[in-house]
Amino acid sequence: MRADAQRNRERILAAAEAVFADKGPTASTEEVAARAGVAIGTVFKHFPTKQALLQAIMKGLLGRLEGEMAEFAADDAPGEALFTFVARMVEQAARKRTVVGLLAETGVDLQVATSVRMLREGIETLLVRSQEAGTVREDVRLDEVIALLTGICQGALHAGWDDDLQRRTLAIVFAGLRTPEGRG
Amino acid sequence: MRADAQRNRERILAAAEAVFADKGPTASTEEVAARAGVAIGTVFKHFPTKQALLQAIMKGLLGRLEGEMAEFAADDAPGEALFTFVARMVEQAARKRTVVGLLAETGVDLQVATSVRMLREGIETLLVRSQEAGTVREDVRLDEVIALLTGICQGALHAGWDDDLQRRTLAIVFAGLRTPEGRG
Amino acid sequence: MRADAQRNRERILAAAEAVFADKGPTASTEEVAARAGVAIGTVFKHFPTKQALLQAIMKGLLGRLEGEMAEFAADDAPGEALFTFVARMVEQAARKRTVVGLLAETGVDLQVATSVRMLREGIETLLVRSQEAGTVREDVRLDEVIALLTGICQGALHAGWDDDLQRRTLAIVFAGLRTPEGRG
Amino acid sequence: MRADAQRNRERILAAAEAVFADKGPTASTEEVAARAGVAIGTVFKHFPTKQALLQAIMKGLLGRLEGEMAEFAADDAPGEALFTFVARMVEQAARKRTVVGLLAETGVDLQVATSVRMLREGIETLLVRSQEAGTVREDVRLDEVIALLTGICQGALHAGWDDDLQRRTLAIVFAGLRTPEGRG
DNA sequence: CATGAATGAGCTTTCATTCAT
DNA sequence: CATGAATGAAAGCTCATTCAT
């Protein structure tokens, strides 16, 4: 791909993230084009359908999340890594309308599904590690963690929680996840 | 209002709830009219904009929830009323696409805001009663409960959790809310 | 259907026939709406897709043709009815770009297919009657007649034959169809 | 013109013929470029508009037809040459969506018009020769032959006749063209 | 010369809303 | 009051054409 095309692709992705973050996924592709400073045709050249554009955003987000997870997994305090990761993700969700809507979207294609699976596996690693470290209850399964993560993110996303409310809400969920010992 | 007009109003509301529950809030007003068995003009006679229709639905839902809350508040086991109510609401959310999306919607008018406030007060009653009964931790505030309720409902709504996952997820949240004694 | 709606429906059909006759089936629906003096939405209210509009035109044309065939079948000179009918149809085709393009169109839905079948049957009646009258050769089958009809219509349609050329061309085809006796 | 440019020109023409034969003249220029293995810009370098490309194809086809006609004119059985040529052309039309549509297209430029005239002359030669040989009726004029040729080609083209139907249809037309003696 | 990214007018289709019947 | 036909502004998407690389 040529340098200018690559630059435009990135500008479109950035514009799309911003626009969809502002107005939700029903915002028009035209607005994305305008924000990116390109013509509408250029957006559709790079992403042949609106779905494709949304999926590309999602893929990017998931990629970044995987990156963060890798860091946390390499952390010194494995028992806390899951909590930190979830808190970070919720924080991001509160700023991006796109993330969570897309996480729960049905009918994503294979590439994206792969990314999701990789995210699942990353979270599973954090979960297992926390359970081995004794901070998370043994009877907690991956599905519930994902469910809670999705739910809390969507809540944060739509309700526009402030930092304090976010912290307090997570505190409750974390208390529910922790072992008696983990609660200190 | 004449009797037939009143009857139409109710049929439209019922149809709208059903349609939006099925297809989400992007379903067309025309479809609501069709399901109600009236012409499109009649819908707009009763609800001058689509927003107004959505708000009316929300008001109705909130009213019914208030009713349920009154029952729970009058229950024998005040310590468990909050948990039961939350569980019931999440269960409904999984079946109605409208409820939660609307709960978090911005730009509601005064009348609806009043209903929301009343719902808040109802939940607060349940919360306080639970705390007095010693089943919910003293440091939990109303805002977090609402936040969790909204979040979990939205999660259940979009992700299509099955009954088991719903139960397990709520179990974690409830564990986070309960006092050590309440966990038994 | 209300009177004004019926009137609009007819104006749209007439406009569509005119526009597609002028510019072929790639002419825009917008132009049809403009020519009919209605908004674009009105066209799509009556004919939910462009295909539906084209099929409606075709159905109308076929209907008129069936009517003509009924007349010819009731005629005194059964041996000449087929020739007259074919000549009439070719004449019309020379003035309407739509007719023939649609006659040969693939993928028409059931309703239209029914109409086509009825037209086939009508032509078959004319053919059999001509053969019984001894003016058309016994070894001529319905398929060839339809094929010739379609082909000649398309030729007349696109090449803009004048009356004389049309007559001379048909004379050749008719000579090919006739029995030696029928040629007189 | 440089050798590689010439080679590209030919590849584009071949690709265009193939693509338009497959999908009709509404196929996109981009697809032609892809099939030719060149970039879209290269297509427009050689043929400044889509129309120009279509006309170039037509010119090529006409040229080839002239070649074939020369062969037939030099044939031993001059009385049958016209019939053979027409049959051959119809057969091709059934396989190439472009030929006939373009043959009847209006607005061709001078160069192409010249080619058409030359084709006319070739057919005229075949016609005259057949009439001299006594197989085609004296009162048949060139215009009707061209008209029949165009019409039958278009019919075959759009309706997708099978070989048998094609043969039977042509048999009728040929019977109409032949002298009583020629029918033997 | 070839490339292929960018353009933008134009297309079909949808839907909230209005208003004559 | 109810009806439902008409409206027309978008929306998503396509494609012939241009021009910087």
Q: Residue with structure tokens 């013929």?
A: D17
Give the separation between CA C103 and CA C147, rounded to whole angstroms.
11
C61: pLDDT confidence band, cut at 50, 70 and 90? Answer: confident
A21: pLDDT confidence band, cut at 50, 70 and 90? Answer: confident
Distance A35 CA to E4 C1' (A): 24
pLDDT of residue C117: 63
Give the pLDDT confidence of A100-148 residue by residue, as tens digits: 555 544 344 445 555 566 678 888 888 999 999 999 999 999 999 988 9
Give the pLDDT confidence of C2-15 residue by residue, as tens digits: 888 999 999 999 99
pLDDT of residue A108: 43
Cβ pair B96, B21 in contact under 8 A: yes
Are A144 and B154 inside 8 Å of each other by CB?
Answer: no
Chain A residues within 8 A of B153 when measuring between CB atoms: 151
Q: Could you report how far apart the first and last alpha carbons of chain D are, in Å? A: 55
Q: What is the percent of chain A where pLDDT is above 70?
A: 82
Are A161 and B176 inside 8 Å of each other by CB?
Answer: no
Strand, helix or coil for residue D116: helix
Give the separation between CA D155 and CA C100, rounded to whole angstroms.
9
* B11 CB-near residues (< 8 Å, 6+ apart): B36, B37, B38
What are the two backbone dihedrals, phi and then psi, of residue A136, each rounded to the nearest 5 degrees?
Answer: -115, 140
A181: pLDDT confidence band, cut at 50, 70 and 90? Answer: confident
- pLDDT > 80? residue B27: yes
Give the separation between CA C165 and CA D149, rounded to whole angstroms.
13
Q: Is B162 exposed, middle or buried (0-12, 13-18, 19+ CB in 10 A)?
A: exposed
- Top residue of B150, B157, B162, B167 to mutate, by most chain A CBs within 10 Å, is B150
Give the separation between CA C93 and CA C158, rounded to whole angstroms.
9
Cβ atoms within 10 Å, residue B97: 18
Token pair in block for residue B61: 């839902």
Are B155 and A158 inside 8 Å of each other by CB?
Answer: no
Let me know if chains D and C touch, i.e. at least 3 Cβ pairs under 8 angstroms.
yes
Q: Return the closest-CA partner of residue D72 out of D128, D148, D116.
A: D128
Give the pLDDT confidence of C126-142 residue by residue, as tens digits: 899 999 999 999 999 99
Chain C residues within 8 A of D151 when measuring between CB atoms: 151-156, 169
Instruction: Cite the residue boundaries of each domain of chain C with CATH code 1.10.357.10.
Output: 55-177
CA C158, C113, D156 angle in degrees (round to 5)?
35
* D138 CB-near residues (< 8 Å, 6+ apart): D131, D179
Greater confidence (B151 vs A17) lies with A17
- pLDDT > 50? residue C165: yes
Strand partners, A178: A136
Distance D1 CA to F18 C1' (A): 23
Average per-residue pLDDT in chain D?
82
Looking at the domain A1-48, which fold is it? Answer: Arc Repressor Mutant, subunit A (1.10.10)
Instruction: Cite the residue boundaries of each domain of chain C with CATH code 1.10.10.60.
Output: 1-48
What is the Rg, in whole angstroms, of the alpha carbon atoms belonging to chain B?
18
Average per-residue pLDDT in chain B?
82
Are A151 and B147 inside 8 Å of each other by CB?
Answer: no
Give the pLDDT confidence of C13-59 residue by residue, as tens digits: 999 999 987 887 889 999 999 999 999 999 999 999 998 998 898 88
Chain D residues within 8 A of C140 when measuring between CB atoms: 172
Q: What is the DSSP string of B19-49?
A: HHHHH-TTS-HHHHHHHHTS-HHHHHHHSSS
Distance C111 CA to F1 C1' (A): 39
Greater confidence (B130 vs B79) lies with B130
CATH superfamily to which A57-177 belongs: Tetracycline Repressor, domain 2 (1.10.357.10)
pLDDT of residue D39: 97
Give the pLDDT confidence of C143-157 residue by residue, as tens digits: 999 889 888 877 776
List of A residues 8-37 with CB within 7 A of strand F: 28-31
Give the separation between CA B92 and CA A38, rounded to whole angstroms.
44
Give the pLDDT confidence of C83-118 residue by residue, as tens digits: 888 888 777 766 665 555 555 443 444 455 555 566
Are D147 and C155 inside 8 Å of each other by CB?
Answer: yes
Cβ pair C149, C157 in contact under 8 A: no
The HSE-up count of residue C27 (CA atoms within 13 Å, CB side) is 21
Q: Return the closest-CA partner of residue A82 out of A147, A144, A131.
A: A131
Greater confidence (D98 vs D105) lies with D98
CA A172, A176, A182 angle in degrees (round to 5)?
105
What's the average model confidence in pLDDT over D97-109?
Answer: 51
**Which of D151, D154, D169 lies nearest to residue C144, judging by beta carbons?**
D169
pLDDT of residue C105: 45
Q: Is B45 exposed, middle or buried (0-12, 13-18, 19+ CB in 10 A)?
A: middle
Q: What distance in Å separates residue B34's CA from the closest CA in chain A?
A: 25
Are B172 and A169 inside 8 Å of each other by CB?
Answer: no
Give the pLDDT confidence of B47-78 residue by residue, as tens digits: 999 989 988 988 888 788 778 777 777 766 77
Instruction: Cite the residue boundaries of each domain of chain B with CATH code 1.10.357.10.
Output: 51-183
Greater confidence (D155 vs D133) lies with D133
pLDDT of residue B172: 96
Give the separation between CA A6 and CA B171, rounded to whole angstroms.
48
**Which of A26, A158, A169 lies nearest to residue B144, judging by beta carbons?**
A169
Give the separation between CA C20 and CA D21, rounded to whole angstroms.
23
Distance C28 CA to E9 C1' (A): 14
Greater confidence (A64 vs A113) lies with A64
Give the separation between CA C113 and CA C111, rounded to whole angstroms.
5
Q: Which of the four CATH numbers 2.40.30.10, 1.10.4000.10, 2.60.40.10, 1.10.357.10 does domain C55-177 have?
A: 1.10.357.10
Per CATH, domain B51-183 is 1.10.357.10: yes
pLDDT of residue D127: 92
The dotted CATH code for D58-183 is 1.10.357.10
Give the pLDDT confidence of B101-132 residue by residue, as tens digits: 555 543 445 455 566 666 788 888 889 999 99
Q: What is the percent of chain B where pLDDT is above 70?
A: 82
